[in-house]
A = this chain, B = another copy of it.
Amino acid sequence: MNKKQLVAKLSGSLNLSKADAERTFDTITNTILDALKGDDSVKIAGFGTYKVAKRKARIGRNPRTGEQIQIAASQKVKFLPAKALKEIFNK
Return chain B residues, CB-CB under 8 Å to A43. 1-3
Return chain B residues, CB-CB under 8 Å to A6. 31-32, 35, 42, 44
Q: Which of B25, B27, B77 contacts A48 (CB 8 A)?
A: B77
User: By the criterion CB–CB under 8 Å, are B89 and A77 in contact?
Assistant: yes
Given contacts A74-B86, A78-B81, 13 further A-B contacts (CB under 8 A): A3-B44, A6-B42, A9-B31, A10-B28, A25-B28, A29-B44, A29-B46, A36-B89, A37-B88, A37-B89, A48-B77, A48-B79, A76-B89
6 interchain residue pairs of minimum CB distance: A79-B79, A75-B89, A77-B81, A1-B35, A2-B43, A3-B44
